[in-house]
Structure 1
Amino acid sequence: MVAYKDFVRLSQSSDSEERGSAAHLAAMAYLNHDGPADEQAALYASLINFLDDPSVKVRAALAYGLLHADIAPRPIMLALLHDSSVISRAVLQYSPVLIDADIMGLVRGFDLSMLVAVCQRSRISERLGAALIGRQERPVTLRLLRRADVPVSARLLQALAQSDGHDAEMRGALLGRRDLPAGIRALLVQKVAAALGNARIVKGALASDRLERLLRNSGDTALSAIGEREAVKAQTGFAAGLIGADQLNTRLLLHAVVTGHVMFFADCLAELGQTPRDKVFSLLESGSRPALNALLVRCGLGEGMRNLFAKLVMHARAADLADDAAARHYVVTALTEELIVDHGGVIPEELEEAFAYLSEQNVQLARKAARGVMAAFAGIANAPMALPMLDERLALPAA
């Protein structure tokens, strides 16, 4: 306990350290006060007086005492907000007394350090976050995007993806947000693919045609995965957006089935055929061949493509395409061989793109399915491997 006279002596001392101690004591006493009203009024008056102290140390001690309290007097906190930068930054970052209206009008004039202090507040509203991002300071924008608790409107996320999608760090912050709309996520994935394709280290490691196939396949996988996630949430806007932007093609539809993203495939067919989603999914799961054909007719597919997709659906019903690479390889191989047999080795022009995709997938899936097979077999096999004896060594030309 400190006597009133001792407190007055400290607060009137010529030593800033003692006045600072008095300011901090007054702040603590005010926040924890449960005595008579006149005593609280005297404490409040002393807090006001410390605002005029010429020493930053004293005013900082006052601010430190009140900084985290939600019952700190607003007039005092607003005065400290306009104090020296070291005090105002702390008040901006920690004081729960401040509301958006106290900060919004000041954001335009803040320097970077002050903006960063606001970004570190425990709670930031969508309105305040938009004002901070509007300052177009990269460190500030990155901090806010990386905070999952700060709401950002879809419109602002779209604008950031368009303007800063070339920035790898900004792309990462945007893609890390769970509230990122599917269409914007797809746009950023395309920008990632373009950036990878232009990176010297990537271009130097892979032949151009193989790199193009790899990026195209990865892009299709990403799009169908995004579409599958949206379909699981019963959000059909992504498929409709792809169709409206003319980004849905035969290759992507085939890839959706081959990778096991059947709900996205169903959404696409529902949008193309203007058919209820539940009915489409039921047809894909257990519909007859004529019923499937009728659905594909509504989707505007030609006869050759209808037959191809109907066969693919029939094969997919009996295989786990989502997780089993060997099953994918089997289905793609069977479908490719059936196409060759059905058309006598002469693939119609209508099916050339689909056939090229299936052939490409056949090679990739064969590699994926083969990985680890020999190692696993060697672990369980007991007999020695029977290899033919060669009379002479093979002579291979130098590379």
Structure 2
Amino acid sequence: MVAYHEFVSLSQSLDSEERGSAAHLSALAYLNHTGPADEHAALYAALIGFLDDPSVKVRAALAYGLLHSSEAPRPIMLALLHDSAVIARAVLQYSPVLIDADLIGLVKTLDVAMLVSISQRQRISARLATALIARGDLQLTQRLLRRQDIELPSALLTGLAQSHGENPAMRGALLARRDLTAATRLLLVQKVSDALRQTRIVKGALASDRLGRVLRDSCDTALSAIGEREAGKAQPDYVAALILGDRLNTRVLLHAVVTGHVMFFADCLAELAQTPRAKVFALLESGSRPALNALLARCGLGEGVRNLFARLVMYARASDLADDAGARHYVVTALTEELIAEHAGCIPEELEEAFAYLSEQNIVLARKAARGVMAAFADETRSAMAVSLDGPAPRLALPAA
């Protein structure tokens, strides 16, 4: 407890430390006051008086006492907002009294250090975040993107992906956001693929044609994986956008089934055939061969492609294509051999794209399936391998002459 005369003595002291103590005490007393109204008004007047103190230490002590309280007087906090930089940054970052209307008007004129303080506030609205990003500072933008608690408009995220998608740090910050739309995520995946294609270490490690196949396969996997997630949310807009953008073809449909993204495959068929998803799922799960052909015909697929997909669906019903690389390899191999046998090695033009995809996947999946075979065999058997590890018999050395 500090007597009133002691407080007056501190507040009028020539020592800035003592005046700072008085300013801090008056701030705490104001916030915790439960006495008469005239006493509260006197404390408020004392706070106003400390705003004119020539020492930054005193004003900082006043700000520190009021900084985290939602009951702090707005006129005083707004005055401190225009004080020295160290005080203003603290008020910008911590004071809950400030609202968007106070901050947005300042965003256009403040320097980057001040803007960073705003970006570290406990709560930031989408409107305020949009105003901060509009300043065009990439590091500040990345700081805001990394905050998952800020709900950013989809149009803003898409615009950032289009304008700054070539920047690796921006790509990473955008791809880490859970609220990124499927179309924007796919756009960033394509930009990642383009960047890898131009990276010197990647170009030096793989031949040009093989690098192209690897990146194309990775993009197809990303496209179907994103579609699988969107299908789980019952969001048909992603597939519709792919069709409008001419991104959906035989290769993508085949890849969706081979990689086990059957929900995305079903969504594609439903959108192409303009058929309810539930009916498409039922046909894929247990429909007859003629019924499947009828559905695929409504999708606009040619006869040869329809027959290929019908066979693939029949194989997929009996195999775990989502997790079993061996099952994928078996299915792709069986389809390839059936096509060769059926057409006597002369693949029709309409099946060339599909056959090329199956041939590529045959190699990729053979490698994946082979990686686990020896390890699995070693776990199951304890007998020695029937391979001699002994080297050739040592040769006799002739004695020196």
> What's the counterpart of residue 210 of structure 2?
210
Deviations 1:314-346 (A, max 9, x none): 100111111111111111111111111111111
Paired residue for 1:354?
A: 354
Whole-Å separation in 2 of the counterparts to 1:357 and 1:257: 13
Match of 2:335 in 1: 335
| 1:65 aligned counterpart, secondary structure | helix
- What is the match of residue 245 of structure 1? 245
Offset at residue 372 of structure 1 (A): 2.8
Distance 2:272 2:44 in 1: 70
Distance 2:305 2:376 in 1: 39
Distance across 2 between alignment mates of 1:384 and 1:118: 68
CA distance, structure 1, for counterparts of residue 138 and residue 340 of structure 2: 55
1:42-191 equivalence runs, <5 A: 42-191=42-191
1:47, distance to aligned residue in structure 2 (A): 0.5
Shift of 1:383: 3.7
- Count of residue correspondences: 390
- Cα deviation, 1:43-68, whole Å, max 9, x if unaligned, reads 11100110111111110100001000
CA drift at 1:294:
0.7
Alignment correspondent of 2:15: 15
Change (3 A) 1:347 1:388: farther
Secondary structure of the 1:80 match is helix
**TM-score normalised by the chain length of structure 1:** 0.96
Shift of 1:35: 1.5
Q: Which moved more, 1:378-387 or 1:258-267?
A: 378-387
Letter in 1 for 2:273: G
Amino acid aligned to 1:178? R
Cα RMSD (Å) of the superposition? 1.3
CA distance in 2, matches of 1:255, 1:372: 22
1:384 deviates by 3.5
CA deviations on 1:214-237 (whole Å, 9 max, x unpaired) are 111111000100000000000111
Whether 2:298 is the aligned partner of 1:287: answer no
Aligned counterparts of 1:175 and 1:40: Cα–Cα separation in 2: 52
How far apart, in 2, do the equivalents of 1:70 and 1:20 lie? 22
Aligned 1:237-276 pairs, distance under 5 A: 237-276=237-276
**CA distance in structure 2 between the aligned counterparts of 1:29 and 1:127, rounded to whole angstroms:** 35
Cα displacement string for residues 331-369 of structure 1 (whole angstroms, at most 9, x for unaligned residues): 111111111111111111110110010011011111101
Q: Give the distance between the partners of 2:384 and 2:144, measured in 1 at CA.
A: 62
SS in structure 2 at match of 1:322: coil
Query: Which whole-Å CA distance do the structure 1 matches of 2:21 and 2:173 have between them?
Result: 44
SS at match of 2:337: helix
Gap change, CA 1:304 and 1:388, over 3 Å in 2: farther
What TM-score does the superposition give when structure 2 sets the normalisation length? 0.95
Gaps of 5+ in 2: 393-401
Q: Give the letter for the 1:112 counterpart.
A: V
Q: Give the whole-Å Cα distance in 2 for the aligned partners of 1:257 and 1:101.
A: 52
Give the Cα separation in 1 of the matches to 2:145 and 2:372. Answer: 41
Residue 232 (structure 1) aligned with residue 232 (structure 2): yes
Task: Determine the C-alpha separation between the residues in 2 that align with 1:186 and 1:114.
Answer: 35
Deviation at 1:378, TM superposition (A): 2.5
Q: Using the alignment, how far apart are the partners of 1:149 and 1:198 within structure 2?
A: 35
* Partner Cα separation in structure 2 for residue 132 and residue 316 of structure 1: 50
Q: Distance in 2 between matches of 1:72 and 1:382?
A: 76
- Runs (4+) off by over 6 Å: none
Q: Secondary structure at the match of 1:6?
A: helix
Deviations 1:265-306 (A, max 9, x none): 111111111111111111111111111111111100000000
Whole-Å separation in 2 of the counterparts to 1:380 and 1:247 = 45
1:37: which partner in 2? 37
Partner of 1:395: none
Amino acid at match of 2:251: R
After superposition, what is the alpha-carbon deviation per residue over 1:53-102, rounded to whole angstroms, capped at 9, x for unaligned?
11111101000010000111111111111111111110000000100001
Deviations 1:151-187 (A, max 9, x none): 1111111110010000000000000000000000000
Deviates more, 1:300-309 or 1:328-337: 328-337
CA shift for structure 1 position 388: 9.3
User: Residues of 1 paired with 2:384 and 2:162: CA distance?
Assistant: 61
> Separation in 2 of the partners of 1:41 and 1:143?
42
Give the match for residue 326 of structure 1: 326
Counterparts of 1:304 and 1:173 in 2: how far apart (Å)? 44
Q: Which residue of the partner structure matches residue 277 of structure 2?
A: 277
Find the aligned partners of 2:379 and 2:241 in 1 and give their Cα distance: 49
**Matches of 1:139 and 1:385, distance apart in 2:** 59
Q: % of aligned pairs identical? A: 75
Task: Name the residue aligned to 1:396.
Answer: none
Higher mean displacement: 223-232 or 332-341: 332-341
Cα drift, residue 385 of structure 1: 2.9
User: In 2, distance between residues paired with 1:195 and 1:210?
Assistant: 16
Aligned mates of 1:231, 1:250 — CA distance in 2: 19
Structure 1 residues without counterparts, runs of 5 or longer: 393-399
The CA distance in 2 between the partners of 1:32 and 1:225, in whole Å, is 56
**Alignment-mate amino acid for residue 260 of structure 1:** G
